[in-house]
Amino acid sequence: MTEEHDSIFETVDGIYRTESRRILATLIKLLGDFDLAEESLQNAFAAAIGSWPRDGMPANPRAWLVSAGRFKAVDALRRRARFDAVQRELAKTQETTSEEAAERPELEDDRLRLIFVCCHPALSPDAQIALTLREVCGLTTEEIARAHLTTAPTVAQRIVRAKAKIREAKIPYEVPSISELPERLEIVLHVVYLIFNEGYSASSGDQLTRTDLTQEAIRLTRLLIQLLPEPDSEATGLLALMLLNESRRAARLSAEGDVVLLEDQDRSLWNQEQITEGVVLVRKALATRNVGAYTLQAAIAAVHAEAPSSKDTDWNEIVGLYDLLQKIEPSPVVELNRAVAVAMRDGESVGLRLIDDLLARGELENYSFAHAGQAELYRRLGRTDDARQSYERALQLMEQEPERRFIERRLKELAGANHRASERGS
Amino acid sequence: MKYLCMVYIEEAKLAALSDEEFDQLDKDSLAYDKELRAGGYLIAAQALQSVQTATTLRVRKNKLSATDGPFAETKEQLCGFVLIEAKDLNDAIRVASKIPVAGVGSVEVRPVRELEEQERWDKRG
């Protein structure tokens, strides 16, 4: 094997990594069939490995691969002995291709179309996430299954069903019109946000974070911002929110993999590059007239990111931002977070009263973090028995292993404190 | 591609409408049918009588059984349908979202399975 051959092989490998999703998106549009497109993509790369060392690199490898993929698809259809369909298919692809070439030299639009198809409201939320990770991000079924703590066959089935629905109900391969874009974009952003959250705070399992998912979510949002016909303040806000949260990754866990609370984190470990970018994006999003929930959450994260310590955080600003958030997107979880900020600003007993009221309303009864928050404030007030009760309730509800260890550690500390207190008392 | 838009509503909600509101809904529905016909979308559209007038049939082992009422006890009942010819699901959703009763009830959009077409495919496959 020649050196040149090796280097072309490496080039093909590189193109696969950077371009394959783009090429897939275009093939899906041209062929109108996810599975056929996936198969043709693999065949096109196989053809490249065969012919590029012999014939030399094409001037535009991506266009070459799209074209090869199309011909491989025609071959595949012919093999399936659907000759009429082949002719129809062929005629159709030729038509759209020439149209496409004339109208848009850039194929990036196809990726945007693909995102909107994967996040179509007619698909279930689980299917939206699985399909986006598979088709847009290129994760394997196994990787998606691991990230969602489910089995590969379950994920595969979800994807198969979603593709069948796309085909049978005829979900079109298009970016929604301007009038429909806001509603549809909201779903896309929500899917991305769920992907990020699953990576940032895995809902169960032995790891607190899954870096691959947070990275994919950030990459996807960058792509979305780059591709959208008009800038969207909430897309900007969401990117800022993810970057600012992600910036704390290295400080959120101890060397032993245990949870470190925000106030105890070593802030020198925070990623300054992500913070700088996030803060610029928040300012940009806040400067628009359309300030939404992602932007406000990002603004809160930015206040934390710029504070030298928990004590020196502008808690008043944070409470104010939570008030705004509560106004545009009311939820008991926002109220809970606000109560914690109020506790930092006005003292534990004030915050505790808010959390007590909130828990009395019942909506957060099964939300472990509400009980953990209440326990933490009791602990600081020295109300050991109350703290223990709340921590125990939180422990019953908590499914994340690192968070469970944190609560168990707190309970042990409380038992120690109680023991010392009773010794002193006797 | 054909889509059947099945219009569901809680009959109690329909009964709770005032006469004027009820008439207005009928008028709006007829007007929308007209609009769809003019736009080349409409194949057929009908409102249905109350679910209390329904009879459910089953044939088992060549024996017919007919029973009173709808098959399943659900809160919302089928109260009408619109069969349309649309470009794709997004097109169909656009049409179905403007069905006047969607403002009170719900509309299920289902692609039609073309049996003839299917048969031809099967022979070829």
- What pLDDT, in 10s, does the model give residues B66-102? 888 776 667 888 999 999 999 999 999 999 999 999 8
CA of A67 vs chain B CAs: smallest distance (Å): 26
- The reply to whether A2 falls in a domain is yes
CB contact under 8 A, B90 and A82: no
Asked if A122 lies within 8 A of B111 by C-beta distance, the reply is: no
Q: Are the beta carbons of B90 and A169 separated by less than 8 Å?
A: no
**What is the structure's pLDDT at A303?**
97
Q: How is residue A413 written in tokens?
A: 């500390």
Q: Chain A contacts of B124, Cβ < 8 Å?
A: 81-82, 84
Chain A residues inside the 8 Å CB shell of B107: none
Q: Which of B98, B90, B102, B92 is nearest to B7 (CA)?
A: B102
Q: Is B54 on the interface with A (CB under 8 A)?
A: no
Reference A34, options A116, A140, A108, A114; nearest CA is A114
Run means of pLDDT, 10 residues per run, chain A, 426 residues: 72 87 90 89 92 90 93 83 56 50 52 91 91 87 79 93 92 86 90 86 62 85 87 95 94 85 93 97 94 97 95 96 96 95 96 95 91 95 95 91 90 80 55
Q: Domain limits at B35?
A: 2-124
Q: Which of A185, A174, A69 is nearest to A117 (CA)?
A: A174
Domain tally for chain B?
A: 1
Q: Domain span at residue A53?
A: 1-104
Residue A319 domain flag: no
Instruction: Please answer yes or no on whether B87 and A172 come within 8 Å at the CB atom.
Output: yes
Residue B125 pLDDT exceeds 50:
no
Average pLDDT over residues B4-16: 91
- Look at A172 and B93 and tell me if their CB atoms are within 8 Å: no
Which of B89, B95, B113, B124 has the most A C-beta neighbours within 10 Å, making it the best mutation to test the interface with A? B89
Helices (H), A287-383: 293-306, 315-328, 332-346, 348-360, 368-380
The answer to whether the Cβ–Cβ distance between A169 and B111 falls below 8 Å is: yes
Q: Give the pLDDT of residue A375.
A: 96
The C-alpha atoms of residue A385 and residue A415 are separated, in whole angstroms, by 9
Per DSSP bridges, beta strands B42-47 and B55-60 are: unpaired
Question: Shortest Cα distance from B58 to chain A (angstroms)?
Answer: 28
- CB contact at 8 A, A282 and A237: yes
Contact A116, A188 (CB under 8 A): yes
Residue A91 pLDDT: 52
* Two tokens, residue A378: 């009791």
- Window 61-90 of A, Cβ < 8 Å to B: 81-82, 84
Q: How many CB atoms lie within 10 A of CB A320?
A: 16
Provide the pLDDT for residue A418: 67
Query: Does residue A55 lie within any of the structural domains?
Result: yes
The residue whose two tokens read 């109690």 is B12
Count up the domains in chain A and report the number.
1
Q: Is A312 exposed, middle or buried (0-12, 13-18, 19+ CB in 10 A)?
A: exposed
Give the chain B residue whose CA is nearest to the CA of A175: B90
A310 near A344, Cβ under 8 Å?
yes
- The CATH number of the domain holding residue B12 is 3.30.70.1060
User: Comparing B120 with A226, which gets the higher pLDDT?
Assistant: A226
Specify the higher pLDDT residue, B56 or A417: B56
Which of B1, B85, B87, B90 to substitute to test the interface with A, most A CBs within 10 Å?
Answer: B90
How many Å lie between the alpha carbon of B10 and the closest alpha carbon of chain A? 23
Nearest to A170 among B88, B124, B125 (CB): B88
CB–CB contacts below 8 A, A to B: 27
Calculate how close chain A gets to B90, using CA atoms only, in Å.
7
Q: Give the model's pLDDT for residue A106.
A: 45
Inform me whether the C-beta atom of residue B93 falls under 8 Å from chain A C-beta atoms.
yes
Find chain B residues with C-beta within 8 A of A82's C-beta.
Answer: 124-125
With CA atoms as reference, report the closest residue to B93 among A184, A110, A118: A184
Nearest CA of chain B to the CA of A181: how many Å?
12
CB contact under 8 A, A172 and B124: no
Give a yes or no: residue A386 inside a domain: no
